[in-house]
Amino acid sequence: MALQDKYKELIDAANAAAVSNLQVREQDNVLYVDGSTSNGSVKDDLWNIYNKIDPDFRSGDLVLNIDASAAAGTKAKVTTESSNLNIRKGPGTDQQIIGKAAHDEIVNVVSRPNEQWSLIRTDKGEEGYVYSQYLTQV
């Protein structure tokens, strides 16, 4: 059975959920499903389908890489382990830290110049760049 047939339900669900930049490719007996969504529950639903098809994820024949970071124009929660999130002058760790967003704080996502960085604005009006992996859309 071809991997795209095995995971048809998952691929169909990703298409139905309008996962953006959806790419499905097979290489070396592994199916890669890449894309992004602004809705974390879509990513959870895809993982649940994967678990139904391959309980306990044992076959190792699928790489599900769906980015569910907050999208531009939305509100996001700072989801660091426990510390504050650095707000920087520009998108890069070499950029000056100009503020901090507290753990669990809700911020506005102004834009996403790339997959790694988001331009945010806090309720106090601080604006700058943060690492997108520490934001979860609300």
> pLDDT tens-digit profile of 32-87?
999 887 666 788 789 889 989 988 778 889 998 887 766 667 889 999 888 899 99
CATH of range 3-67; options 3.30.70.1770, 1.10.510.10, 3.20.20.150, 3.40.50.720 = 3.30.70.1770
Indicate the CATH number for domain 75-137: 2.30.30.40
Mean pLDDT over residues 98-114, rounded?
90
pLDDT at 111: 83
115 versus 103: the higher-pLDDT residue is 103
Mean pLDDT for all residues in the chain = 88
> 79, 136 in Cβ contact below 8 A?
yes
Facing residues of 108 across strands? 75, 121
Question: What are the residue ranges of CATH 2.30.30.40 in the chain?
Answer: 75-137
H-only helix segments in the chain:
3-6, 8-16, 40-53
Starting from the edge strand earliest in sequence, which strands make up the sheet with 62-67, in order? 20-27, 30-36, 62-67
pTM: 0.55
Question: What are the residue ranges of CATH 3.30.70.1770 in the chain?
Answer: 3-67
Split at pLDDT 50, 70, 90, the class of 1 is: low
